[in-house]
Amino acid sequence: MTQILMPKATAVWLVDNTSLTFDQIADFCELHPLEVKGIADGEVARDIRGADPIANGQLSRDELDAAEKNEKYRMKAQKSRHAELLKPVKKAPRYTPVSRRQDRPDAIAWFVRNHPEVPDSQVARLLGTTKATIDQVRNRQHWNSAQIKPVDPVTLGLATQLELDAVVKKAADKKARDDARKGIVEPEGATLRPASETGVVEDEPEHEPEVEHTAESVFADDHDDDGDED
């Protein structure tokens, strides 16, 4: 059976606008009959606006008329053209021009050196490369390892600044949460502590002994100086 869009909203509309049984509505919307009963009683989907399955192309008027005439009849949904538009589109792999593909190892090396916290899956998605290539660059097993130099992927034109900032910020936030969860603290000795805490007493600077001057010693020095002048 074709899966319908907005099953609860469709059930709300069918409850309000048709004479179908709860079982018929539940079967068409792929809901439990008690859930449909809850909708009718106003206990379920109270704030959901009804969606007309005939207007959006999921149910024909003939099917509805046949079901209303026979409570054992089960309506068949038809494929809606709106369903194709609402299908999630799988994002295609990032295309990298041939002229820039040889630059990817340089960008990988930049991530390995500057942002090791960014997971390989994110690097691969951003640069359009593979985890195997990232491992080869990291372990210096790449065939061109001798020529690889770390270069910013934005400079190489492999990513925009916004994309790069988003990837780096996401990885940094995750690392911070992981560190906080693990209770990682700054290692002891990472910051300087005062001498009073370490138990080390600094040597006091040496001072020359103080000499007490008296009147006799001052005049004695004067006499010695006069004697030297003679």
Q: How far lies 205's CA from each of 113, 152, 202, in Å?
A: 48, 53, 9
Give me the residue label for tokens 């805490």: 197
| Residue 76 pLDDT greater than 80, yes or no | yes
- Please report, for the chain, the start and end positions of each structural domain, with discontinuous segments joined by +: 7-86, 98-182
Tally Cβ neighbours within 10 Å of residue 188: 7
pLDDT attached to residue 179: 84
State mean pLDDT over 16-25: 93
pLDDT attached to residue 97: 54
What is the per-residue pLDDT across 182-213, written as a single tens digit (0 to 9) for each?
876 545 444 444 434 444 444 444 555 555 55
State the burial class of residue 168 (Cβ atoms within 10 Å of its Cβ: 0-12, 13-18, 19+). middle
| Residue 83 pLDDT greater than 80, yes or no | no
State mean pLDDT over 146-173: 90
Pick 188 or 29 by higher pLDDT.
29
| Residue 116 pLDDT greater than 80, yes or no | yes
Three-point CA angle 146, 149, 155, nearest 5°: 150
Residue type, 64: L
Pick 92 or 181 by higher pLDDT.
181
Is the alpha carbon torsion for 147, 150, 154, 159 positive or negative?
Answer: positive
State mean pLDDT over 71-92: 68
Q: Which of 28-32, 126-130, 221-225 has the lowest mean pLDDT?
A: 221-225
What is the per-residue pLDDT across 33-70, written as a single tens digit (0 to 9) for each?
999 999 888 888 778 888 898 888 888 999 999 999 99
pLDDT attached to residue 112: 93
pLDDT attached to residue 105: 92
| 8 Å CB contact between 123 and 108 | yes
State mean pLDDT over 1-11: 80
What is the per-residue pLDDT across 96-106, written as a single tens digit (0 to 9) for each?
555 456 789 99
Instruction: Provide the percentage of residues in the chain whose pLDDT is more than 70.
Output: 69
State mean pLDDT over 162-169: 91
CA distance 211 to 107: 74
What is the per-residue pLDDT across 131-140, written as a single tens digit (0 to 9) for each?
999 999 999 9
pLDDT attached to residue 202: 45
